[in-house]
Homo-oligomer: A and B are copies of this chain.
Amino acid sequence: MRFLQLFALISLLTLLSAFTPQDRNRLGPMGQPQASPTPTPTPLPPPTVKMDAYRTAAARIIGAALTSDRAYSRLAHLTDHIGNRLSGSSNLEHAIEWALSEMKRDGLDNVRGEKVMVPHWVRGEEGLEMLTPVSRKLTMLGLGNSIGTPAEGITGEAVVVRSFSELEQLGERVRGKIVVYNAPFVDYGTTVLYRLQGASRAARYGAVAALVRSITPVSLQTPHTGAMQYDEAQPKIPVAAITIEAAELLQRMYDRGDRPTVRLKMEAKFLPDAESANVIAELKGTEKPDEVVLISGHYDSWDVGQGAHDDGGSCIVVWEAATLLKELGLRPRRTIRVVLWTNEENGLRGGNGYRDAHRAELAKHVFAIESDSGIYKPEGFGLAATAPPQVRANLQEIAKLLSGIGSDRIAASGGGADIGPMMREGVIGASLDVEGSHYFDIHHTPADTLDKISPQDLKLCVATIAVMAYTVADLPGSLTGD
Contact = CB atoms under 8 A, between A and B. Distances in A.
B83 A134 contact: yes
Contacts of A222: 220-222
Given A442-B220, A445-B220, A80 B253 contact: yes
B249 A449 contact: yes
A451 B244 contact: yes
A139 B220 CA distance: 13
A252 B134 contact: no
Contacts of A82: 134
B80 A221 contact: no
Interface string A233-267: 00000000000110011001100100000000000
A445 to B, nearest CB: 7
Interface in A133-151: 133-134, 136, 139
For A80, A220, A249, the residue with the greatest tally of chain B CB atoms inside 10 Å of its CB is A220
A248 B451 contact: yes
Contacts of A289: none
Given A83-B134, A134-B81, A221 B252 contact: no
A220 B450 contact: no
A83 B138 CA distance: 13
A441 interface: yes
Interface in A289-335: 305
A407 B220 CA distance: 28
A445 B245 CA distance: 12
A207 interface: no
Interface string A146-161: 0000000000000000
A406 interface: no
Interface string A207-238: 00000000000111110000000000000000
A249 B80 contact: yes
B83 A220 contact: no
Contacts of A76: 252, 256
Nearest to A256: B76
A136 B83 contact: yes
A360 to B, nearest CB: 42
Interface of A: 76, 80-83, 133-134, 136, 139, 218-222, 244-245, 248-249, 252-253, 256, 305, 441-442, 445-447, 449-451
5 contacts: A81-B133, A220-B220, A221-B222, A221-B305, A245-B451
Given A219-B220, A220-B222, 11 more contacts: A80-B252, A81-B133, A218-B220, A221-B445, A221-B446, A244-B451, A245-B446, A245-B447, A245-B449, A248-B449, A249-B450
